[in-house]
Structure 1
Amino acid sequence: MYKTIVVHVDDSPSMDTRLQAAAWLANAHEAHLVGSAATGLSWPAFVLLAGSMRLAPREDFDAMRKAAHTSLQGFATQARRLGVQSHEERMIEDEQRLALLLQSRYADLVVLSQDAGESATSRGLPQYLVLHGPRPVLVVPPAYDGATIADSVVVGWDGSVPAIRAIQAALPILVRASTVILALVNSDRESGLHGDEPGADMALFLARHGVRVDVVNERTQAAAGDALLDIARAGGAGLLVAGAFGHSRYREILLGGVTRVLLERAPMPVLLAH
């Protein structure tokens, strides 16, 4: 079960949609919801940018703290309105990604927004937290309307370790779902990861946990990410679960093709683990 959920808090237009998703999960699992807001810089970093302590305008830094505090007040008001019984606000004087990375260590799940609905200062958070964070990440699209997440779920299964971790992370949702589709795309290309009957062993694993699961083995010329989105749309899925891939090159994070497609274009919330 999810007992602690962290949601990114700021003043961006997508704040309401990701809070709706986080509140739905918190209510469904009787979880504690932590709103995490950041100033954007620590005081030492602010002083360094100013050139010296004497030149650093303290009122400018205080304004950053006040903005984060105001966002947290809005979070608390909205969380109460959405019926969240247990919640708290945390403000970190640091970059947003580092603040969330810290808070994620002590949570079961982190809730963020797709870049498409974010302000410039928050873009890249899903990619960073998915690949660097210790916990699974739920990425909410700007079009999310508060619908039930756990009614119909599509799980991308390719036999990989990230996919296993994503499935394990999603189990509290999967056991509640009315319909779970275990989706394989061109599984014959990775036959060594699936056994004699692709999908059968994982479906049995899920069934033993009480998950009502059907297997769909899609053969297509489309890219795997597009195929998964098509399956999710056709099944009316409220959630898509998948493993995340990426690697570091020249100190920049490069996402795998499937992960990038899901993060950028999924019309429903996506739960990712690396």
Structure 2
Amino acid sequence: MVKDLCVHLDGGDGDKDRLEAARQIAVMFDAHLSGVFVNRLPDMPAAEIYSYSASALDDMQRQAREKGDRIAAALEGLLSGLDVRNELRRFDVLSSRWQQTFLAEARLYDLFVSTLPQEDDHETMALVESVLFGAGHSVLLVSPKCISALDFSTIVLGWRNTREAARAVDEALPFLKRADRVSVCMIGDDELGRIERVTQGNDIARHLDRHGVSVELNPLPEGKGVGATLLDEADLLNAGLIVMGGYGHTRLREWVLGGATREILKRSEVPVLMGH
């Protein structure tokens, strides 16, 4: 169940969109909404610290905290106007620790809500990757183009028998149970033929039916690629939500998004729920 969700706030232009998306989801499930604001304090490399006096460093810290106070006050004003239970969670941490701080907080909620990162918004993309691969819960990302009226009555579910897809299905159950139409898309690849894909679809359909979710099975050729095919199908069905596994691979100690996952995040105009 979705009873406790969080949204990333930073005092920027995107806060209102993110809060509105989270508010609508909180209303759907009568959930509590927490706005998480990580106020970043100056973090000097060791080689530069000696270039500043102690008083100068103290002034920089003070100015950062005062800026955080102004942002927090504005965020409290936004939250006070919402029609759902909410709170602001503020953390003052060194800049080098802000992402780890948010990740640790995100693990305490049922769902992380944000807007889909814009192509040049590398910071938000990095945060989404961090939460997707490290929080242990799903992420729901909403395009600013559809925030005014979220409609999850038709859902496209990208299915293959993997841990990531199974995790996404489990996390998406509250949404799937509310939907009027769920299309399970098994997109072709080099490993499985159409019959094998339909068999896998029957297996997940049986599982979902036991949760009261009726689905349509939709085996599809890969065509232009997994990501593009899933997006085309969502557009064809006028779907209001895409559910899929969030795939990636490790590079040294960091997770990096897989090609289809990254394409969905960059191109989708439909909200996307991903699990890993």
Aligned partners of 1:153 and 1:180 also within 8 Å: yes
Deviation at 1:68, TM superposition (A): 3.5
Give the whole-Å Cα distance in 2 for the aligned partners of 1:27 and 1:270: 18
Deviation at 1:188, TM superposition (A): 7.0
- Alignment partner, residue 241 of structure 1: 243
Deviation at 1:59, TM superposition (A): 3.1
3-state secondary structure, aligned to 2:161: coil
Amino acid at match of 1:71: I
Aligned equivalent of 2:234, options 232, 235, 247: 232
- Alignment partner, residue 10 of structure 1: 10
- Alignment partner, residue 59 of structure 2: 59
Deviation at 1:194, TM superposition (A): 5.4
Aligned equivalent of 1:175, options 170, 174, 177: 177
Give the whole-Å Cα distance in 2 for the aligned partners of 1:193 and 1:71: 56
Give the gaps of 5 or more residues in structure 2.
Answer: none
Aligned partners of 1:14 and 1:118 also within 8 Å: no
Amino acid at match of 1:125: L
Q: CA RMSD in A?
A: 2.7
- Alignment partner, residue 116 of structure 2: 114
Aligned partners of 1:17 and 1:145 also within 8 Å: yes
Deviations 1:239-271 (A, max 9, x none): 111111112224443211111111211112211
Percent identity, aligned pairs only, is 30
- Alignment partner, residue 202 of structure 1: 204
Q: 1:184 to 1:75 in 2, by over 3 A?
A: farther
Give the whole-Å Cα distance in 2 for the aligned partners of 1:49 and 1:268: 46
Amino acid at match of 1:101: L
- Alignment partner, residue 77 of structure 1: 77
Give the whole-Å Cα distance in 1 for the aligned partners of 2:197 and 2:123: 45
Amino acid at match of 2:247: F
Asked if 1:30 corresponds to 2:30, the answer is: yes
Q: 1:177 to 1:118 in 2, by over 3 A?
A: farther
Give the whole-Å Cα distance in 2 for the aligned partners of 1:190 and 1:69: 56
Give the whole-Å Cα distance in 2 for the aligned partners of 1:196 and 1:167: 17
Further displaced range: 211-220 or 185-194: 185-194
Deviation at 1:63, TM superposition (A): 3.1
Q: 1:117 to 1:188 in 2, by over 3 A?
A: closer
Q: How does 1:122-201 map to 2 (within 5 A)?
A: 122-186=124-188, 189-190=191-192, 197-201=199-203
What is the TM-score with the length of structure 2 in the denominator?
0.87
Amino acid at match of 1:91: R
Number of matched residues? Answer: 271
Give the gaps of 5 or more residues in structure 1.
Answer: none
Give the whole-Å Cα distance in 2 for the aligned partners of 1:48 and 1:212: 59
Deviation at 1:214, TM superposition (A): 1.3
Q: 1:46 to 1:242 in 2, by over 3 A?
A: same
Further displaced range: 72-81 or 106-115: 72-81
Deviations 1:169-226 (A, max 9, x none): 0111110112211111116733599576241111121122112321211114211011
Deviation at 1:111, TM superposition (A): 1.3
Amino acid at match of 1:208: R
Amino acid at match of 1:237: A
Deviation at 1:164, TM superposition (A): 0.4
3-state secondary structure, aligned to 1:189: coil
Give the whole-Å Cα distance in 2 for the aligned partners of 1:120 and 1:195: 35
What is the TM-score with the length of structure 1 in the denominator?
0.88
Give the whole-Å Cα distance in 2 for the aligned partners of 1:62 and 1:144: 39
Give the whole-Å Cα distance in 1 for the aligned partners of 2:57 and 2:249: 39
Give the whole-Å Cα distance in 2 for the aligned partners of 1:178 and 1:17: 26
3-state secondary structure, aligned to 1:241: strand
